A = this chain, B = another copy of it.
Amino acid sequence: MHITQKGLVEMNRIERLNLINSLSGIKPANLIGTINEDGTENLAIFSSVVHLGSNPALFGFVLRPRGEVRRHTHENILSTDVYTINFVHTSFIKQAHFTSIKAKSNESEFVLSELTPEYIEHFQAPFVQESTVKLGMRFVEEIPIKTNGTSLIIGQVEHILIPDHIILDGGHIDLEALEIAGISGLNTYYSLNKIAHLPYVREDSKITDLS
């Protein structure tokens, strides 16, 4: 089957939305936690966290122009400068997914989704207690993507909260052992099975070295 640009434009809106979202493949499931200046906590699910660099440790995520939930996340990051990125485990995908509800500005998605806020000293944004891998992020830069009004929010890692036994030799993490969830499209959830850990490919490597 060959779908052209013209075919995409003519497609039903919801079908196109789901198809194009699915075509970005498997994505990480993360809850982003923030707080506003009145102390109202916000929690929202995102699947667009991307690695930008390791030194300094930088991550980006894409913020859509529309939607109440995402607007709260945006406003809170701009006003407090901090946010948390919490891994979603397969054990709480329903609660995580429920944070996509359009909450009122004085309502917390932590309460609505039955997830537990957790704090560390000297860091304003709430973490998710149910998550075992969580990052405390400091806002660095917002890059507007003029083509469609989205933007890339860039932050630097200030805190990593992680069980120490799960960091493997060389700094790797086993996402299967941690029961981490992945997302396809907007609402399909996957569990992960580790199938291979391949060596770094050198200039003189041969493909048979990987076997």
Contact = CB atoms under 8 A, between A and B. Distances in A.
B195 A93 contact: yes
A29 interface: yes
Q: How many copies does the complex hold?
A: 2
Nearest to A175: B184
A96 to B, nearest CB: 10
Contact of A162 (B3, B161, B197, B210): B3
Contacts of A53: 20, 147-148, 150
A160 B14 contact: no
Contacts of A202: 101
Query: What is the predominant secondary structure among interface residues of chain A facing chain B?
Result: mixed
A59 B24 contact: yes
B161 A2 contact: yes
Interface stretch (A34-42, A73-81, A133-141): A133-141
Contacts of A162: 1, 3
Contact of A19 (B8, B161, B167, B180): B167
Interface string A171-197: 111011000111011111111111111
Contacts of A146: 141
Contact of A171 (B15, B62, B113, B160): B15
B23 A26 contact: no
A60 B58 CA distance: 17
A154 interface: yes
A172 B187 CA distance: 10
Contacts of A172: 18-19, 22, 184-185, 188
A171 B202 CA distance: 40
Q: Which 7 A-B pairs have the closest CB atoms?
A: A25-B28, A18-B171, A1-B164, A15-B171, A19-B171, A24-B51, A22-B173
